[in-house]
A = this chain, B = another copy of it.
Amino acid sequence: MTDLPIPVDADRFLADLHALRGFGATGTGKGVCRPAYSTADLAARDWLAGRMTEAGLAVQVDPVGSVFGLAEGRSLLVGSHSDSQLEGGWLDGALGVVAGLEIARAAREAGGPPVSCVSFQDEEGRFGVTTGSAVWSGHMPLERADTLRDADGQTMAEARAGLGDRVGGFVDPARFSGFLEMHIEQGPVLDSEGGQLAVVEAIVGLRNLTLTFHGLQNHAGTTPMRLRRDAFQGLALFTSRINERFRNVVTPATVWTIGHVSVHPNAHAVVPGRVTFTLQWRDGESFRLDRMEAIARETAAEVAAELGLDLETAPLLDLPPVPMDPRLRAALETGAEAEAPGRWRNLPSGALHDATNVAALMPVAMLFVPSIGGISHDFAEDTAEADLVCGLRALARAVAALG
């Protein structure tokens, strides 16, 4: 393993990854419970800060609680997040953080290039969504983030108070030449194909439409079929038509989901008078998101007219796609080909990441390792250690090449 320009230590990397897992370990498999600002999260961040200091990096905790380990001068930034879901896996976020630490440490030991590392706060959205990087990148003012409440009603301002005297100022983004994030895929593609690595093409855009069909609630025994205005039948017809029509527009990477369905009054013997549901779709290209939105809106209006329903549409949630920087992405591809020849591919990221926000500040790119069974946000989340090390080495090659 000494053939690398930045000679990362795989054993030390894995030992640190397992050490981080100790903070909030649930005892169920390798699972962790380390939500943002929890005792376990703050202890993990203090431990990380200690490891950064030992590696000769200058620690700076920003007002949201994101922990930076800063090299001198202008550098690449490598990292992810160390907070977890309430029922979280040991790798989601933690992998990218410890990879950043190891590469920054190994680069410093080898006399360069300068590499900084980071663990963003609240990527998993106890308060918002990717909150730490959203505030840092200017997507959300800190004053607004402070008013966000968690499921128990606590505000982020109250949670931030727990950071105490750890807090410094915001880190100047101008000191970084780019951001690289390694992450588990959180999907089944690499695992099902036996692939080892994926270089992300784009973090896909997401649109979420909440629709309601209003029909006529009626007795399911005494109302003939021809006199019904059954809201659920509207949803069933909408679903089959959308499936047909989207097939002419999508790529194999496009996804769409009807994930939330609420039927009223939801009783065996009552013709549904109202159905509210969500259609969410994701793709790397805005024009395709537009086409799908047009089809969804037209089909919903058409179905409502055919079945005598009224259609209500809530405001659209619209997160645009974030393309990866071509130069950073090429460096990751070269690193992937060196470490996993013939066993890497390009993939869109179907999930949001801190890189989504950081892209507003600097060039970004991402590298995926496989998720066994496609499982994440679950205690059972895991990846073969050989694949974790393969990812670390490919990332180190990219960092060295980008200098």
Residue numbers of A with Cβ under 8 A of B are 185-189, 192, 204, 206, 208, 218-227, 230, 232-233, 235-237, 239-240, 243, 250, 252-263, 266-272, 278, 280, 282, 349-352, 374, 376-377
Contacts and interface: CB of A to CB of B under 8 A. Distances in A.
Given A185-B222, A188-B218, A226-B252, 19 more contacts: A188-B223, A220-B255, A220-B257, A221-B255, A221-B350, A221-B352, A223-B374, A227-B374, A232-B239, A235-B236, A257-B268, A257-B269, A259-B263, A259-B268, A260-B266, A260-B268, A261-B263, A262-B266, A269-B280
A282 B232 CA distance: 18
Nearest to A239: B236
B232 A258 contact: yes
Contact of A219 (B252, B260, B376): B376
B268 A350 contact: no
Contacts of A224: 187-189, 252-253, 255
Given A230-B257, A263-B260, A268 B208 contact: yes
B350 A223 contact: yes
30 contacts: A185-B222, A186-B222, A187-B221, A188-B223, A204-B221, A208-B268, A219-B374, A219-B377, A220-B255, A220-B257, A220-B280, A220-B350, A221-B255, A222-B350, A223-B374, A224-B253, A225-B255, A225-B256, A227-B374, A232-B239, A232-B259, A233-B258, A236-B236, A237-B240, A257-B268, A257-B269, A257-B270, A258-B272, A262-B266, A268-B280
> How many of these chains are in the complex?
2
A208 B376 CA distance: 38
A256 B221 CA distance: 8
A228 to B, nearest CB: 8
Contacts of A267: 259-260
Contact of A259 (B188, B252, B260, B272): B272
Contact of A188 (B189, B227, B235, B253): B227
Contacts of A282: 220-221
